[in-house]
Amino acid sequence: MARVYTKEIKEKARNLRKRGWSIGEISRKMKIPKNTLSGWVKDTQLSEKQKERIRQKIIASGVIGRPLAVKVNREKIERWKESIRKKVQHYGEVTQKDPGISKLICGLLYLCEGAKYPSTRCLIFGNTDPVMIRYFLNLLRTSFNINEEKLRCRIMCRWDQDTKELNKYWSKITGIPLHHFFRTAPDKRTKGKPTLKSTYKGVCSIQYPSTTLQFELQSIGEAIIKGRI
């Protein structure tokens, strides 16, 4: 049943409005819905000073409410992401249970990020993401019979970056010793253009002198793709 309001209550609301109160303020004070109040005070004439007070109140409430809304939305997104992570986390154990899956994943990664035969006659896999580089190398080392001594690494970076530090960084990521790194030549095209992202560590290119392994990885990836067409 709809609530019935007395003339006194309506008049009190109008008086607050005439004093420059916003509808939101009146609603909170009198515990009356905003849409109900709007009908009561729509004809109330406000001075410029009162209108300015209401504008400032609206701005202030937005400043206060916006960070809270952002926080709530961020927490909602995190809950959404976590629910999906839990849903798919069992896939992380697939390669441990079936070594053949490791070869399939390695082949797909190479098809996406590796140099293709016959344009090149050497296994070359490059990426800026250290997680991707580490994962690819782990699959390569555990799924294929490779000679660690033949693994090489080349870093491609911007002009203003410290090449020695970058080599140390990627050596730690890859497990490839520094004496197996090719000389790093910064990109001259970036001279005078500062690197904006401090997290950017250049492109890490893993190289292994085997056309056979290169083509095998490429063929695995192609077989998977073609099998779904």
Which positions ≥6 away from 213 have C-beta within 8 Å? 123, 144, 146
C-alpha to C-alpha distance for 140 and 136, rounded to whole angstroms: 6
pLDDT value at position 1?
54
Backbone dihedral angles phi then psi of residue 96, each to the nearest 5 degrees: -75, -30
Whether 206 is in a domain gets the answer yes
pLDDT tens per residue across span 136-193: 999 999 999 999 999 999 999 999 999 999 999 999 999 999 999 999 989 999 999 9
35 and 146, same domain (yes or no): no
C-alpha to C-alpha distance for 203 and 167, rounded to whole angstroms: 11
203 and 174, same domain (yes or no): yes
203 and 121, same domain (yes or no): yes
116 and 76, same domain (yes or no): no
Domain limits at 185? 98-227
pLDDT tier at 22 (50, 70, 90 boundaries)? confident
Whether 109 is in a domain gets the answer yes
Per-residue pLDDT, averaged over 199-217, amounts to 97
23 and 110, same domain (yes or no): no
Whether 92 is in a domain gets the answer no
106 and 205, same domain (yes or no): yes
pLDDT tier at 83 (50, 70, 90 boundaries)? very high
115 and 214, same domain (yes or no): yes
150 and 217, same domain (yes or no): yes
Which positions ≥6 away from 153 have C-beta within 8 Å? 170, 171, 174, 176, 180, 181, 182, 204, 205, 206, 207
What is the C-alpha radius of gyration for the chain, rounded to an integer number of angstroms? 32
pTM for the whole thing?
0.68
Per-residue pLDDT, averaged over 186-201, amounts to 94
Whether 157 is in a domain gets the answer yes
Q: Tell me: pLDDT of 64 over 80.
A: no
C-alpha to C-alpha distance for 137 and 11, rounded to whole angstroms: 77
pLDDT tier at 2 (50, 70, 90 boundaries)? low
Whether 188 is in a domain gets the answer yes
Number of domains into which the chain is organized: 2
Q: In angstroms, how far is CA 131 from the centroid of its own chain? A: 14
